[in-house]
Structures are given as structure tokens and as C-alpha cells.
Amino acid sequence: MAGQFEAIPGGGAAVALDEVEISILRSLAVQLLELIGPGDEPAQGEDPLASLFAEGPSEPPEDPALARLFPDAYGDDDTELKEFSAEFRRFTENDLRSRKREDGMALVRTLDGLTSAGESGAVLKLTPEACLHWLGALNDLRLTIGTRLEVTDEDEGNELYRLPDSDPRKPMVMAYLWLGSLQESLVETLMP
């Protein structure tokens, strides 16, 4: 089970993680949550339903990683399509941010809830619902890191994957590949 998710009875999945892996996953998830930003919780005394009708931003984020997490609905330079993208973003981005925060928080909470088995780590057991949150969070982490590393579709087999240990990007490339392996094994585990 080391490093790969496996199905557990009743649905869900489990994976053995050592202390370093737990620490890395938690740190990356917290950084992702900081990047996404805090939620717009209703102020005390404010109608909680008002947030359902709150409009979000109409412009794409300037940060390339956030732009990747919250892409335009219509990726064209056409003026009319830009207007449609702005309209779509205004009514969907707040919900999308909220879901991404929920996924990241679910990852952090499950890691915080692990009972350590000493230096060897622990076995993480996820319910079917927690698996979906983890898939979302792992995907968002990979998109963010991939954007920071400027990974493209053409990078398969690229020199980025054969960096010398002295390259400062090496740890992030290793994290990117490891997260991809975790994500792939979770998807395969959940498939019928």
C-alpha cells in the first residue's frame, strides 16, 4: 500500500503515508488555501442567504496559478466572448472558490486526524466522500505547481523531469510527479 491508494471495504480508499509525506501534503494544502484566499462568510447579523446572490469578480486573476484554477469559460480574444466569460465568472467563481477551499480543508483535516504510528507514519483511510475532496485538492495542487513550473502538454519526457539535484526546481518537480501518482492511484481505486 505504500504510496498507492487501495480500495477499502464499504467504499473509499486507504494509503500509507510516512511522516514526511504527511508534512509535505499538509504544507502544500495550506499554501493552496492561502493562495485561494479566505471565504466570504456573512458578517454577524447579515443574512446568510445574501451570500448565495453575491456577485463575484468579473476579471480573471492576474496570478497565473489562480488563473489556471479559475480559468475563463470562453478562452477567446473575441470581445463578445470576453463579456460572456466575465458574466460567467461573476456568477460562478465564488462557488468554485468555496468548493476548492472545502477540498483543501478536507485534505488538511484528514491529515490532522491521523494517529501517527511513530516514524513509520500512518495509514490514511478515506470515506467515499473524502475521496472526492482529495481528488479535487490533489488536482488543484498539481495545477498550481504545474503552473509555477510552467509545465505544458509538450513537457512529457522534457528535461524538466530529468533535472539535476542542484536545480532549485527539483523539489517542486518531485512533488508534482508524486501528487500525480497519488491522484492517479486514487482515481484507479475508485473506478468500478
Alpha carbon distance 91, 89 (integer Å): 5
Q: Is the pLDDT of residue 91 over 70?
A: yes
In tens, the pLDDT along 147-173 reads 999 887 776 556 777 888 999 999 999
Q: What's this model's pTM, rounded to 2 decimal places?
A: 0.86
pLDDT in tens, 4-53: 999 999 889 999 999 999 999 999 999 999 999 876 555 556 666 665 56
Q: Comparing 80 with 105, which gets the higher pLDDT? A: 105
